[in-house]
Amino acid sequence: MQLISATLVQQVIQPRPTASYKGNYGRILIVGGNARFGGAAILSASAAVYAGGGLVSVATDAVNRDALHARLPEAMIIPYDDANLADLLQSMTVIVIGPGLGTDETALKVLNTVFEAVAPEQTLIIDGSAITLVATHHMRLPKARFIWTPHQMEWQRLSGIAIAAQTPAANQAAAAKLPGTVIVKSHRSEIFTPTRSYQNPVGSPAMATGGSGDTLTGIIAAFVGQFGHRDASILAAVYTHSAVADLIASDHYVALPSMVIQALPGYMAKMAAASAND
């Protein structure tokens, strides 16, 4: 299993071309946030904006509108039960579904809408409640460029492998049965692409707080939106999430998701400058 390195991150995060605009950096839709877990969608969307996503929209429970606008005016909003959701989905580069979505009937309906609308060239990041829904309802998967981001319990539900039996070899075999890339999150997350496996060498228990995984989904979405859907973009996103948290944890006991999000543009500027100096 190969370790992800800072060098790879510097290769991925390049200075932006002068002649570019928001349309060059990805159209991202975050689908999630029910009445109870609105914060998860706000964190995911905030991470996508602060990690450089060009245009970020959120499909969420209507009750989250004011909080999202107040916290993140850069994001656009649509209620996730709006009849126009299917049309909006078709214009996206990257779709994240699951942070705070919940697992009730509304959530299942929203997930079905996304599965019906998604096209093969679109990136679909499946996280949180959406993983639990796919696992419990044994849902048929559409054609798309999948990225799965289960924590160990979600991975147990999806793969059938008990947490204690989640060895790299067992995880790799189960990941190979799923389309796309699987990120099995833990204190040392493992990333399985269709052909290779990697481990994230950074990160700490300062990240062990609700919302850390929601934040990761937004960073992955922004990196794929800006730097293309390739293994390097996904690996660099995983590393960046933890490396930023490590910087914060050097003088803070906890690296809260909101703190990580705030620190993303500064970290990315340093990586881009390092890549420009190579």
Ligand X SMILES: NC(=O)C1=CN([C@@H]2O[C@H](COP(=O)(O)OP(=O)(O)OC[C@H]3O[C@@H](n4cnc5c(N)ncnc54)[C@H](O)[C@@H]3O)[C@@H](O)[C@H]2O)[C@@H](O)CC1
Ligand Y SMILES: Nc1ncnc2c1ncn2[C@@H]1O[C@H](COP(=O)(O)OP(=O)(O)O)[C@@H](O)[C@H]1O
Q: Does 98 count as an annotated binding residue?
A: no
The residues near 108 (Cβ < 8 Å, ≥ 6 apart) are: 133, 137
How far is residue 261's CA from residue 181's CA, in Å, rounded to a whole number? 24
Q: Does 187 count as an annotated binding residue?
A: yes
How far is residue 255's CA from residue 267's CA, in Å, rounded to a whole number? 15
| Interaction of residue 249 with ligand Y, rule CB under 6 A | no
The residues near 189 (Cβ < 8 Å, ≥ 6 apart) are: 183, 199, 200, 203, 238, 242
**Partner interacting with residue 100 (select from ligand X, ligand Y, Mg ion, none; CB below 5-8 Å by kind):** ligand X
Nearer to ligand Y, 4 or 272 (CB): 4
Q: Residues interacting with Mg ion, by CB under 5 A?
A: 128, 213
Residue 271 C-beta: closest distance to ligand X, Å: 26
Assign 212 to helix, strand or coil.
helix
Nearer to ligand X, 163 or 165 (CB): 163
State which of residues 211, 237, 249, 268 lies at the interface with ligand X (CB under 6 A). 211
Residue 245 C-beta: closest distance to ligand Y, Å: 7
Q: Which two tokens stand for residue 237?
A: 């996103």
Residues 230-269 that bind ligand X (CB under 6 A): none
State which of residues 69, 137, 143, 187 lies at the interface with ligand Y (CB under 6 A). 187
> Nearest to Mg ion by Cβ — which residue?
213
Assign 262 to helix, strand or coil.
helix
State which of residues 58, 108, 207, 243 lies at the interface with ligand Y (CB under 6 A). 207
Determine the interface stretch with ligand X among 6-14, 145-153, 176-184, 244-252 (rule: CB under 6 A).
145-153
Assign 3 to helix, strand or coil.
strand
Phi, psi of 78 (to 5 degrees): -140, 140
The residues near 245 (Cβ < 8 Å, ≥ 6 apart) are: 203, 204, 206, 207, 212, 255, 260
Q: C-alpha distances in angstroms, 88 versus 106, 236, 265, 275?
A: 18, 28, 27, 35
Binding residue ranges for (6S)-NADPHX? 40, 100, 151, 214
Binding residue ranges for AMP? 185-189, 213
Contacts with ligand Y, residue ranges (CB under 6 A): 128, 151, 185-187, 189, 203-205, 207-208, 210-214, 216
Contacts with ligand X, residue ranges (CB under 6 A): 37, 39-40, 98-101, 128-129, 132, 151-154, 163, 186, 210-211, 213-214
